[in-house]
Amino acid sequence: MAKGRFDRVGVAVVILAAIGAVLAGVPAQADAQVYVGGAGESPSDALARNMKELGSSPKNFDALIGAGKASLALGDSQAAAGFFGRAEEVWPASPLPQAGMGAALALEGNGNGALQYFARATQRGATQSMIGADRGLAYDLIGQHAEAQADYRAALSASDGDEARRRLSLSLAITGKKAEALSMLSPLMARGDAAGARTRAFVLALTGDVNGAKGAIDAAMPGSSSNMAYFFRKLPGLRSDQKAAAVNLGIFPSDNEVASASLPPAATNPATPTQSDDADGDRIGSIERWLSQATQGTATVPNPPAPAAPVPQQLASVSRPATTATATRKLWLQLASGANSTGLPDQFDRIKSRNRDLFEGITGYIAEEPGRARLLIGPFRNSEEANIFAEDLASVRVDAFTWTNQPGQAIRKLPSE
């Protein structure tokens, strides 16, 4: 990529980082205080408080759920999944761990997988208002917008009602209901909600009002409209499920995928973004990869204990050409994930650099699914061995949780150094 073009991408990345609360679907700080803990408690404070409790009482169900919700509010779906998996072991009959896993998968862009967990949560007693804000996102990601909007409306009076309102506004805009979408944001705009102001810019862009979107984003973030104009122009041309992934999670397709927007929505997750050969494709590819790293793996978690139980895996697999294909179900430790595998080898090198002796003789592997790639080590003979190594990793501040592949799923080995 030419230096000038890279500079332009860099500027856009900085702007996108500043509106990450909208792109990543993570509640704004003020709203996350309500979402996670008591009045005035930030997600990081809530996580620290629950982690302290878990240090003396590792099976404290409320602390596990609280730590999981705090991790979600910080955008760390992997850590959240670990906490919810442990909570499931403590109280299998509760709907909260299943609802939490559904929220974590929705945050990763796996709408179909998330709905499986929400169905189980409902069987265990979860109400629509309890899970609506997150299940609505899962529905939006698979193009079922009427169901999404019904869920969001049911959650408007719940503790995460502001986030449900923002997501409902985006969903209404996706389905062409501009006036209703803007009206939905009015209560947030009246009290100066910053995330609501940024959401309003996306609503205008989704409904084809590029100039209005530029004015709205400039009002919220002066001088940023020139850097966002490209994305505002592209949004109306996406499929409805791609729009939901773009404005809620920062997953933006390449130009090749934009060109196929007239095709019926896929039955699975939004396609894994790929980098096209032209300048526009370079911009999208670079920004999407950065967003994936920024929203999926960089939230600061103060050395959480390794999950004591296997985390339920995502429920969909895909047939791909493979370097290594596993014929049976195997147990792994997951170290990181992303929307695609591009940055995972470098991330494995950075993880190993924390303690070369610990990783001596350890090889990395990558498992790929629709919209998600996982960095793995293993396989392990049993969960006891996996958990022992996870504890060793936690001692050098490397978070890991157990994951089991589907029979026949492609797992490829990273090249040795």
For the chain, list the domains and their CATH numbers: 3-296 (1.25.40.10), 331-413 (3.30.70.1070)
CB count within 10 Å of CB 372 equals 24
Q: Are 155 and 133 in contact (CB under 8 A)?
A: yes
Q: What is the pLDDT along the chain (417 residues), one digit of tens a residue?
A: 333 333 333 333 433 443 443 443 333 333 333 334 555 688 889 999 999 999 999 999 999 999 999 999 888 888 898 899 899 999 999 999 999 999 999 998 999 999 999 999 999 999 999 999 999 999 999 999 999 999 999 999 998 899 999 999 999 999 999 999 999 999 999 998 888 998 999 999 999 999 999 999 888 888 878 778 888 888 899 999 999 999 998 887 765 554 444 333 333 333 333 333 334 444 343 333 333 333 333 322 333 333 334 344 332 222 222 334 444 688 899 898 877 888 888 889 888 888 888 888 888 999 988 777 889 998 888 877 888 888 888 888 788 888 888 777 889 999 875
> What is the residue type of 272?
T
Distance between CA atoms of 152 and 37, rounded to whole angstroms? 21
Q: How much is the pLDDT for 389? A: 86
Q: Which residues contact 339 (CB under 8 A, 6 or more apart)?
A: 109, 251, 272, 273, 288, 289, 292, 296, 371, 372, 373
Q: How much is the pLDDT for 106? A: 94
Q: Are 22 and 202 in contact (CB under 8 A)?
A: yes
Q: Quick one: which of 188, 235, 180 has its CA closest to 213?
A: 235
The tokens of 337 are what? 């994930």
Q: How much is the pLDDT for 405? A: 81
Q: Identify the bridge partners of residue 226 per DSSP, sorted by sequence position.
A: none
In 3-state terms, what secondary structure has residue 343?
A: coil
Distance between CA atoms of 63 and 90, rounded to whole angstroms? 11
Cis peptide before 58 (omega within 30 of 0): no
* Phi (first) and psi of residue 242, to 5 degrees: -70, -35
Q: How much is the pLDDT for 391? A: 82
Tens of pLDDT, residue by residue over 282-312, are 434 333 333 333 333 332 233 333 333 434 4
Q: How much is the pLDDT for 9? A: 37
Q: How much is the pLDDT for 403? A: 82
Q: How much is the pLDDT for 257? A: 52
In 3-state terms, what secondary structure has residue 336?
A: strand
Distance between CA atoms of 66 and 313, rounded to whole angstroms? 21
Extended beta strands in 244-361, E state: 331-338
Residue position matching structure tokens 């620290």: 48
* Phi (first) and psi of residue 198, to 5 degrees: -70, -40
Distance between CA atoms of 369 and 241, rounded to whole angstroms? 17
Q: How much is the pLDDT for 28? A: 35
Q: Are 329 and 371 in contact (CB under 8 A)?
A: no
Q: How much is the pLDDT for 219? A: 86
Measured at the CA of 203, the angle between CA 202 and CA 209, to 5 degrees, comes to 90
